[in-house]
Amino acid sequence: MRKPVLAGNWKMYKTAAETAAFFEAFAPLVAKTSHAEIVICPPFVNVPAAVAAAQGTTIEVGGQDLFWLREGAYTGEISAPMLTAVGCRWVIVGHSERRQYFQETDETVLKKTQAALAAGLTPIVCVGERLEEREGGATESVLRTQCAGGILGLTPEQFASVVIAYEPVWAIGTGKTATPEIAADAHRVLRTEIANHFGDAAGAACRILYGAVSSRTTWRSSWRRRKSTGRWWVGRAWMRHRSRRS
């Protein structure tokens, strides 16, 4: 049985003090949670504060990106060993904003995923289509291409430790929301690609998250369909812990 993952990407928000305050308020709300893994990915400078605040809780901490080499003259980059050394257990790879603004490619996604796995991190590998690709009927083609150039380059043993996040780029920060049916269709394409490459068991076992859920209404609707659409990846709404009380 696939264990759900509830993951929050904080993007470029919050200071260290605000991070500590969030954890103080949020941790009691999930203190008894055992049915799902809870992951929060703050900005790099807030990771130490998050790790310290998460001690003794059910919450784990991840990075928002990484570089594929261990060290070197790469100003501004963070390596997988650096993330593990500070207490991260997860890392986001290939987020749509990295692809859009920082020229992330399927090739670099594969390199980063391999580096994360080698360091013992669980990579959340992101895939998804832009609005013009969806409107042009190219969603399935885009997902297959991203898989072929990225995660399908892993060995079966490596892939077993990967989590995938389907994030329709057109539904991130736009007010638009992919319906559970849209997410289910995308997850079906991804599972088929995985099964064709790694086998049916791998396709069934892989945890696929959905990105861009932002409201209680959408969250509840999506979660009710969790058996068909996988497990969940939540963006900026996670920073407002009160939205998860009910």
Global confidence as pTM: 0.90
Query: What pLDDT is stored for residue 56 in this prediction?
Result: 95
Structural domain of residue 124, as residue ranges? 5-244
* Total domains in the fold of the chain: 1
Provide CB contacts within 8 A for 31, sequence distance 6+.
Answer: 57, 58
CA dihedral 95, 98, 101, 104 (to 10 degrees): -120
Active site residues: 95, 167
Digit-by-digit pLDDT tens for the chain (246 residues) are 788 999 999 999 999 999 999 999 999 999 998 989 999 999 999 999 999 999 999 999 999 999 999 999 999 999 999 999 999 999 999 999 999 899 999 999 999 999 999 999 999 999 999 989 998 999 999 999 999 999 999 999 999 999 999 988 888 767 777 788 888 899 999 999 999 999 999 999 999 998 765 555 555 555 555 543 345 566 555 566 544 432
CATH number reported for the structural domain that contains residue 143 in this entry: 3.20.20.70
Contacts of 172-176 spanning 24+ positions with Cβ under 8 A: 172/96, 172/97, 172/211, 172/212, 172/235, 173/235, 173/236
Query: What pLDDT is stored for residue 123 in this prediction?
Result: 98
